Amino acid sequence: MASISYSPAAFDGTSASDLLRSSSSGVTGIPLKTLGKVRFVVKRRDVIVAAKMRKMKKHEYPWPADPHPNVKGGVLTHLSHFKPLKEKQKPVTLDFEKPLVDFEKKIVDVRKMSNETGLDFSDQIISLENKYQQALKELYLHLTPIQRVNIARHPNRPTFLDHVFNITDKFVELHGDRAGYDDPAIVTGIGTIDGRRYMFIGQQKGRNTKENIQRNFGMPTPHGYRKALRMMYYADHHGFPIVTFIDTPGAYADLKSEELGQGEAIAHNLRTMFGLKVPIVSIVIGEGGSGGALAIGCANKLLMLENAVFYVASPEACAAILWKSAKASPKAAEKLRITAPELCKLQICDGIIPEPPGGAHAGATWTSQQIKAAINETMDELTAMDTEELLKHRMHKFRKLGGFQEGVPIDPKKKVNMKKKEEQTVPRSSKAELEGEIENLKQQILKAKESSTKPPEVALKYMIEKLKEEAYHEYSEAIRAMGLKDRLEMLREEVSKVNSKDRLMNPVLMDKIEKLKHELNQSLSATPNYTILKYKLDMLKEVSTAKSLSKAATMKQEVNKKLSEIMGRPEIKEKLEALEAEVQSSGSSSFIDLDEGVKDKILKLKSEIELEMISALESLSLEVVVVKSNANPTSLSVFKNKVDNLNEEINKTIEEVVNSSELKNMMELLKLKKAKA
């Protein structure tokens, strides 16, 4: 056997990784660097190998024994490169938030004035702060889709690691895809929440320009998705539930990523996630863009923050494709239906996590706690399922998306939209609710009349449409109860065929319609919902009448307004005053007694005012019909004389008849007959 003698000093500067065990040579524990320096001596005894190792410093891993109490984030900061920012993030005001800046300036100015003068302005400050909070709340209650997109992209919005460090008791980040690269755009690690251990996987954006460049603006490469895949296998092997955080504009689409198999990496993740035997929860904390988000988003439950968005294409890209301009992005954002409430209606999103007014960046810690509560609640539900049930649950979630009906012939022009149209169901209102709404409408109309303001046309129109829809549904229920639904649908098909071919209505078809109408009228009163149907029809008639009256009242107000404007013009006023002076100076008591010249001036001014009024009425979209009088205004005096002469003749004739002897004899006879009777 061979014996090797060496100097212990030869091992100085080596590490444990330099030691090698070789079963073929029988040499154990020898540093590779010393193999060339040893002497081989053949002796008749077993090989004895000895090594003197350098004493190493004990690592403080994973937790230091005595962490510094003033370190922000506790012991977690010792285990991650993600540290608190040295400089505070600058406030960023979005375009739609600019009205709130005025409130903030006023509050600052009042406080500054209070400090400078020493006066107490606490009441004014409290009032301004209350108004600011109210304005903030109203603004964030009625956000448009594009405004939510801007909030999701806010530079100060909390990132994945911000939330993780806020919700976990312990978190250890795990690196690398074991294929040559550690993508910083995807962060993975093991952490605990209330004693439960989870595998966290999330897309990480930067908090400033330097970090954004380092994190590639949250756009992962194939290495990042393969790192996430490795951690998913790890979690599945050890039985750790998986929580993924989505916050990316999309997968990185440069040439190098395509060469490395970006599409294959995403597809592999999609296939693998459907087969994992542990619960998976995905949370969209910012924007979820296309396949880059789906690669870690095939979960049992998909949750979204209130102002997060999840889309197949960004609004700007969609607008550029459909409308050839990125300026149409607000319209595209609305049509894409990418917000959390819209996605909940489509059953893509399973829950909405609330944010404070102002967005998640206005209260990062509070938002993180809401995320923590949502994770605990969802995991309680999923962990109660067995493996087979969990896999079926995940499969059914995605199988029910984007349903459409097969086997129905579709018009070629409408083939683009293959999704079956959702039937809009109108919520039924009870009799008491309708009465309450009608009463409120009446009060609004009365107030409008008293204050001479415009009647509530929008409210009237909404109520009429609502009553029409409810009456239509009641009619449908009544027809279904009478068993006439099939006959009615067949008649509709026949009528639509006739209308499509531009032919005259067949007498046989007309007879069928009349028979069905007669049968419907006879049996309608016997249906179970006839009472509520009649009530709604009566209400509809009443509201329609009120709308007509309010329209007439509105038109009357507008006409009076136009007339006041015409009569208030300086030239008209001047002419009227001149004519009044002439009439008063003439001493005439009626139009007939006036001079012909004054009469002509009055008639001329009247015609001028009428022409102005006609133009004003036509501007109100009214059709004006001018009725010309056949009477000659200058012949009124002659006409009056003729009337007076006729009245004198009539009176004379009446007196002669009354005083005649024949009429007196007849009166005497009548008196005698009456006395005998």
CA distances from 269 to 49, 223, 295, 312, 475 (A): 49, 12, 6, 17, 52
Each residue of 244-274: pLDDT tens digit? Answer: 999 999 999 899 999 999 999 999 999 999 9
Q: Mean pLDDT check: name the lowest of 145-159, 333-347, 473-487.
A: 473-487
Are 273 and 384 in contact, with CB atoms under 8 Å apart? no
For residues 414 and 439, what is the distance between their CA atoms, to the nearest angstrom? 44
Q: Is the pLDDT of residue 198 over 90?
A: yes
For residues 470 and 536, what is the distance between their CA atoms, to the nearest angstrom? 8
Q: What is the mean pLDDT of residues 394-399?
A: 92
For residues 333 and 315, what is the distance between their CA atoms, to the nearest angstrom? 5
Each residue of 618-643: pLDDT tens digit? Answer: 776 666 666 655 545 445 556 666 77
Q: What is the pLDDT of residue 6?
A: 40
- 658: its two tokens: 């009354």
Sign of CA dihedral 632, 636, 642, 643: positive
Short-list 421, 422, 417, 521, CA closest to 479: 521
* Count of positions (residues) in the chain: 677
Mean pLDDT, the chain, integer? 78
Q: What is the pLDDT of residue 106?
A: 84
Each residue of 422-433: pLDDT tens digit? Answer: 555 555 666 677
Greater pLDDT, 408 or 388 = 388
Q: Is the pLDDT of residue 418 over 60?
A: no
For residues 204 and 189, what is the distance between their CA atoms, to the nearest angstrom? 13
Q: Is the pLDDT of residue 451 over 70?
A: no
Q: Any idea where the domains of the chain sit in the sequence?
A: 2-42, 159-399, 431-552, 636-676
Pick the CATH number of 159-399 from 3.90.226.10, 1.20.1440.230, 2.40.128.20, 1.10.4100.10: 3.90.226.10
Q: Is 284 helix (H, G, I), strand (E, B) or coil?
A: strand
**What DSSP string describes 505-538?**
PPHHHHHHHHHHHHHHHHHGGGSTTHHHHHHHHH
How many beta carbons lie within 10 A of that of residue 356, not counting itself?
17
Greater pLDDT, 543 or 175 = 175
Q: Is the pLDDT of residue 167 over 90?
A: yes
